[in-house]
Amino acid sequence: MTDCCERKPAEPDARTCPACGHRGPAVRLQTVKALLTEIALRRVQLAHYRFCSNAACDVVYFGDAGDRFGTGEIRVPVWHKQAPGSRLLCYCFGETEAVIRHELIQSGRADVANRIREHIAAERCACDIRNPRGACCLDNVITAVRRIEAEIAEGSMNDGRLTNLPNR
């Protein structure tokens, strides 16, 4: 696997978002600069930045110097800040919750994680720059597949029909 998709140890010194108090992992300055709008980029400082994943908070990046950048200052939608449904999960290869749901309904399985693993093995991913979190999306994709599988199973039981989804 490439560096962008290798698991990094948890940061004991992760600081908290000044707007909501949510603990934020470090994000490389290169990621922040790549994803800020042109106007927001004019305010960036040579400082350490953190990512706030709290869905209820508008702040995406916050810096050690006290600066903040919100969802309106980022070039891409930040999936952590959006309601579930059709969010973009994989910023490198365009995998969305809608694609996962469609695959599960059509075939009873979602191959998204395997597709992403193949791209990672071929060293095609750029998660460290394209993903606002600055890290690999695979864990979020796998979690989304499980959540959507459960939603589909619950929905099929609630409307009186049983859908046979294969066990993984």
Mean pLDDT over the full length of the chain: 88
CATH assignment of the domain containing 29: 2.20.25.270
Which of 46, 73, 100 is a domain's end point? 73
69 lies in the same domain as 93: no
109 lies in the same domain as 133: yes
State the pLDDT confidence band at 168, using cuts at 50, 70 and 90.
Answer: very low
91 lies in the same domain as 33: no
Tell me 4's DSSP state: G
Q: Mean pLDDT, to the nearest integer, of 94-117?
A: 96
64 lies in the same domain as 109: no
98 lies in the same domain as 54: no
Give the chain's domain count.
2
**Rg of the Cα trace of the chain?**
18
Which of 28, 52, 73 is a domain's end point? 73
Residue 35, in any domain of the structure: yes
What percentage of the chain reaches a pLDDT higher than 90? 80
Residue 87, in any domain of the structure: yes
State the pLDDT confidence band at 1, using cuts at 50, 70 and 90.
Answer: very low
Question: What is the predicted pLDDT for the residue at 5?
Answer: 62
Q: CA angle at residue 55 from 168 to 8, to 5 degrees? A: 60
Which of 73, 94, 113 is a domain's end point? 73
133 lies in the same domain as 105: yes
91 lies in the same domain as 144: yes
68 lies in the same domain as 121: no
Question: Residue 4 above 80 pLDDT?
Answer: no
State the pLDDT confidence band at 26, using cuts at 50, 70 and 90.
Answer: very high
Question: Residue 82 above 90 pLDDT?
Answer: yes
97 lies in the same domain as 148: yes
Report d(CA 64, CA 13) in Å as an integer.
12
Residue 58, in any domain of the structure: yes
Among 106, 55, 105, 104, CA closest to 82:
55
Residue 163, in any domain of the structure: no
pLDDT digits (tens, 9 = 90+) for 32-75: 999 999 999 999 999 999 999 999 999 999 999 899 999 999 99
Domain, as residue range, for 132: 83-158
Residue with tokens 């903040």: 68
